[in-house]
């Protein structure tokens, strides 16, 4: 590899990276399938948007609580083995849900419990990968690896919902959920032989002390603190959207399951192209704008879902579906600059020795809005779908304001 080269070819010439990326992609397709499959599974098996919101909440929130400890473990013990551990537990969890459902032995409380337990180890892979990349990859290739990281989610968002909806139609909800375990198992196997990069850790003799240090560092880092409020509010809107869109498509428009997968896939397709293009841009000095400008457009775009839910549009379901698809497509396109800006600004303004702990806290609290939004949408959507959409719009607007005001515009301002 030529010193300072910024190409994707140079990126994938890094030893071990292709294996890690392949494992990441398999797991993220599984995660994307699980996110949609659990909602569809719950709606089909129990016919309850409220329970769907609860399951979505507990499949993510316990992991958020555990994240600071997960970050300390990653800084102390490395990343590859702990990432693989999470994949194995995720595999076992979805297989168990499918098997119990087939045996007609899965009451709602047990479904909630399994989803809760499986979420606890999720930060090991999510934070593990995101903090592994800047340690494994030189800084001149950070935009490229961040594009690969972001596109890992976006490719999964195209394939996952479509695969989940297709499996539901072909083999039924129980086997569709169980099939996700195959992807998690393959992801764990793919990591065999991968090695952690050598780096100096600031770990102490106490896991709790390391966890507390990570929390302190994240709070006193102005960029990470600002992102907690800004991206957290934006993800609140995302959690609401995750419940609102399937309810709108299935209940209001009486469309088939595959239509849910299709509209989410449109978002992923637009995002893949957008992230690939913005991954080629040198983000230094531009991160704040790449964050705030796309965020400012998300609230008005989400408001288009109100139009899709209006009585004239419901009376013309094909037109309403087209508008929902267009809304999701634009949302995906906005994701490109936003993700590249978010990942690189956090990497550049975090000490390498604290990346596991700081990223764990940042990612957990950034994402905390998502399960809260999903749970809130499950309650509100049963009463008023329009009100749930309005809450998403307000949350997205608040996230823009928080990010613009609280995140320093420049590295120099962040350090002051």
Q: What percent of the chain has pLDDT over 70?
A: 96
Task: Tell me: pLDDT of 414 over 80.
Answer: no
Confidence at residue 1, expressed as pLDDT on a 0 to 100 scale: 47
SS3 state of residue 363: helix
Q: pLDDT tens digits, residue range 154-199?
A: 788 778 877 887 888 788 888 888 889 999 999 999 998 888 876 5
Q: pLDDT tens digits, residue range 288-312?
A: 999 999 999 999 999 999 999 998 9
Q: pLDDT tens digits, residue range 334-381?
A: 988 998 899 889 988 988 778 888 888 888 888 888 888 888 888 888
User: Which pTM does this prediction carry?
Assistant: 0.74
Q: pLDDT tens digits, residue range 71-88?
A: 888 888 778 999 999 999
Say which residue, 204 or 2, is predicted with more confidence.
204
Mean pLDDT of the 392-410 span = 95
Residue 262: band (very low, low, confident or very high) from pLDDT cuts 50, 70, 90: confident
Q: What is the mean pLDDT of the chain?
A: 87
- Whether 242 contacts 130, CB under 8 Å: no
Q: pLDDT tens digits, residue range 106-116?
A: 999 999 999 99
Confidence at residue 39, expressed as pLDDT on a 0 to 100 scale: 81
Residue 201: band (very low, low, confident or very high) from pLDDT cuts 50, 70, 90: low
Mean pLDDT of the 398-416 span = 86
Confidence at residue 2, expressed as pLDDT on a 0 to 100 scale: 47
Q: What does the buried/exposed string (b/e) look like for 151-175 if buried means 16 or more CB atoms within 10 Å of the residue's CB?
A: bbbbbbbbbbbbbbbebbeeeebbe
Contacts of 188 (CB under 8 A, 6+ apart): 23, 84, 87, 88, 91
Confidence at residue 388, expressed as pLDDT on a 0 to 100 scale: 93
Mean pLDDT of the 136-153 span = 86
Contacts of 321 (CB under 8 A, 6+ apart): 249, 253, 255, 259, 263
Confidence at residue 202, expressed as pLDDT on a 0 to 100 scale: 54
Residue 323: band (very low, low, confident or very high) from pLDDT cuts 50, 70, 90: very high
- Whether 128 contacts 84, CB under 8 Å: no
Domains and CATH numbers, the chain: 15-194+206-415 (1.20.1250.20)
Residue 286: band (very low, low, confident or very high) from pLDDT cuts 50, 70, 90: confident
Four-CA torsion 309, 313, 314, 315, nearest 10 degrees: 160
Four-CA torsion 381, 386, 390, 396, nearest 10 degrees: 70
Range in 105-109, 394-398, 410-414 with the lowest mean pLDDT: 410-414
Task: Tell me: pLDDT of 275 over 90.
Answer: no
């Amino acid at each position: 590899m030529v010193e300072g080269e910024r190409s994707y070819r140079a990126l994938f010439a890094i030893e071990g990276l292709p294996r890690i990326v392949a494992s990441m992609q398999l797991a993220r397709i599984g995660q994307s399938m699980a996110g949609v499959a659990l909602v569809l599974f719950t709606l089909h098996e129990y016919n309850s948007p409220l329970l769907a919101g609860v399951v979505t909440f507990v499949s993510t929130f316990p992991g958020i609580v555990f994240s600071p400890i997960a970050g300390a473990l990653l800084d102390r013990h490395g990343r590859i083995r702990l990432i693989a551990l999470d994949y194995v537990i995720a595999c076992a969890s979805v297989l168990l849900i499918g098997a119990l459902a087939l045996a007609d032995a899965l009451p709602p409380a047990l479904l909630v419990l399994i989803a809760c337990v499986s979420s606890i180890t999720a930060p090991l892979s999510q934070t593990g990968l995101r903090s592994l990349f800047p340690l494994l990859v030189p800084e001149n290739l950070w935009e490229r690896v961040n594009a690969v990281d972001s596109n890992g989610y976006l490719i999964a968002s195209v394939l996952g919902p479509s695969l989940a909806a297709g499996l539901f139609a072909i083999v039924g909800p129980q086997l569709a959920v169980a099939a996700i375990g195959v992807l998690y198992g393959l992801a764990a196997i793919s990591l065999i032989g991968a090695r952690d990069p050598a780096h100096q850790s600031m770990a102490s003799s106490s896991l709790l002390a390391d966890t507390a240090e990570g929390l302190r560092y994240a709070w006193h880092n102005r960029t990470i603190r600002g992102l907690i409020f800004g991206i957290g509010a934006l993800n609140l809107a995302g959690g609401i959207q995750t419940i609102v869109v399937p309810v709108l498509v299935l209940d209001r428009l009486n469309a088939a399951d595959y239509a849910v997968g299709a509209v989410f896939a449109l978002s992923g397709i637009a995002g893949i192209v957008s992230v690939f293009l913005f991954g080629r841009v040198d983000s230094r000095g531009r991160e704040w704008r790449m964050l705030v400008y796309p965020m400012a457009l998300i609230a008005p775009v989400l408001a288009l879902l109100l139009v899709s839910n209006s009585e004239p549009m419901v009376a013309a379901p094909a037109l309403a579906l087209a508008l929902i698809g267009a809304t999701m497509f634009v949302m995906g396109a906005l994701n490109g600059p936003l993700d590249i800006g978010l990942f690189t600004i956090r990497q550049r303004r975090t000490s390498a020795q604290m990346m596991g702990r700081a990223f764990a806290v940042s990612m957990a609290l950034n994402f905390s809005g998502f399960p809260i939004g999903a749970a809130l949408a499950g309650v509100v959507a049963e009463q008023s779908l329009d009100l749930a959409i309005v809450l998403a719009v307000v949350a997205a607007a608040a996230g823009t304001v928080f990010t613009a005001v609280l995140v320093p515009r420049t590295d120099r301002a962040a350090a002051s």
